[in-house]
Amino acid sequence: MTNHKLLQKYLNGQCTAEEKQQLYRNLLESEEQDYDKVLNALWEELSEVPDPERATSERMYQAISHHIQSPSSRQVSPVWYRRVAASLIGILLVSGIWYYWSSQSTQVYQTRYGEVKTLVLPDSSVVHLNANSKLTYAPSLGTDSVREVWLTGEAYFEVTHQTIAVSDDPVKLIVHTAQVDIEVIGTAFNVKDRRGITQVVLDEGKVRLKKLRGEETLLAMKPGESVQVDQQQSYSVASVDVSEQVSSWKENELYFNNQSLEEIQQVLADNYGIRLRLANPALRELRFTGSAPADDPSVLFTTLEKSFSLKITHEHDEYIARPKRQE
């Protein structure tokens, strides 16, 4: 099927998933003459569509333009391409070509609720990815002068030491989170990025925390320290007696150290998608120290029932914890 026919079906909402993928691929890989025909047809269809927000269009334009104008791709007039891309982004690129192109340009690992994965990156660094988490990196990781990964959720990193062949300078690895950038060379640390807070616990080596989109260093961490950074990039530092307990999840163990039931509620929601409702608000302040298997939340429920004389029942789409009636 020609690009023009595919485009007409797309604009009429009649494309199958396979046809959409074919259209996205064709628009990125077609020869210049065919590509211009499609753009001309689309320009006429979209002449009345308003421009998208500047920040989004600029980001997508730069990325896709870089791909299209690479030596292996055709050359497109920057003025003409920018004019057409402004409308393309609003209708097609946001949900289609941008997703297709970016998915081909990055490696993404994602875990389900209750699932833990161990990954070996191209630079031989090891990453343990906790449940309900996502790690993204470029396939070129390990061949560039800077190594970069993007994390949402929680992961434990064992980073290999690398140097640049020509200068013998160390190659940094930067872990990007929503709140802070974490810059390391060769070290082991745990990162948890959930609920607007990024927590970094350093086991060994050195780590620098840097402000987002800048070179300003917030602080340099020492082994045994735990740092929490919020959305305003304010941070707090604490000592961790046994840092291994923070990352015990990678050994299939949940460890809690004087944590409230409210905090345990959050762990259950974040890692397992389990909603635990406390029937009595006073229960939120109860504190628990102990451990349970990470792959079986029911064991934790049994332990909490015994520790606090509770009854936890499964009702509809949630669990409810109530004080046991005194007999």
**3-state class (DSSP) for residue 280:** coil
What is the residue type of 249?
Answer: W
pTM of the model: 0.67
Mean pLDDT of 80-106: 51
Of the two residues 253 and 13, the one the predictor is more confident about is 253
How much is the mean pLDDT over the chain?
Answer: 78
Statement: residue 170 has pLDDT above 70 = yes
User: Where along the chain do the CATH 2.60.120.1440 domains lie?
Assistant: 107-245
Contact 319, 283 (CB under 8 A): no
- Tally helices (H) and strands (E) across the chain: 8, 18
- pLDDT on residue 255: 92
* Number of CB atoms found within 10 A of residue 285's CB: 10
Is residue 260 very low, low, confident or very high in pLDDT (cuts 50, 70, 90)? very high
**3-state class (DSSP) for residue 134:** strand
Nearest Cα residue to 118 out of 130, 108, 107, 106: 130
* Number of CB atoms found within 10 A of residue 43's CB: 14
User: Where along the chain do the CATH 3.55.50.30 domains lie?
Assistant: 252-323
Statement: residue 86 has pLDDT above 50 = no
Nearest Cα residue to 198 out of 165, 159, 155: 155
- pLDDT on residue 153: 97
Mean pLDDT of 22-48: 55
- pLDDT on residue 71: 47
Mean pLDDT of 94-99: 50
Statement: residue 163 has pLDDT above 60 = yes
Nearest Cα residue to 226 out of 257, 201, 193: 201
DSSP 65-95: HHHHTSTTS----HHHHHHHHHHHIIIIIII
Mean pLDDT of 137-151: 84
The lowest-confidence range among 83-97, 132-146, 174-188, 203-217 is 83-97
CATH number of 107-245, picked from 3.40.710.10, 2.60.120.1440, 1.10.240.10, 1.10.10.10: 2.60.120.1440
Six token digits for residue 110: 């994602």
Long-range contacts of 197-202 (CB under 8 A, 24+ apart): 197/228, 197/229, 197/230, 198/228, 198/229, 199/226, 199/227, 199/228, 199/229, 200/226, 200/227, 200/229, 201/225, 201/226, 201/240, 201/243, 201/246, 201/247, 202/226, 202/243
Of the two residues 61 and 259, the one the predictor is more confident about is 259
Tell me how far CA of residue 185 lies from CA of 48, 136, 189, in angstroms.
51, 19, 12
**Span 252-323 CATH architecture:** 3-Layer(bab) Sandwich (3.55)
Name 257's Cβ contacts closer than 8 Å, sequence gap at least 6. Answer: 245, 289
- pLDDT on residue 68: 47
Statement: residue 327 has pLDDT above 70 = no
The residue count for the chain: 327
In degrees, rounded to 5, the angle at the alpha carbon of residue 232 between the alpha carbons of residues 228 and 234 is 40
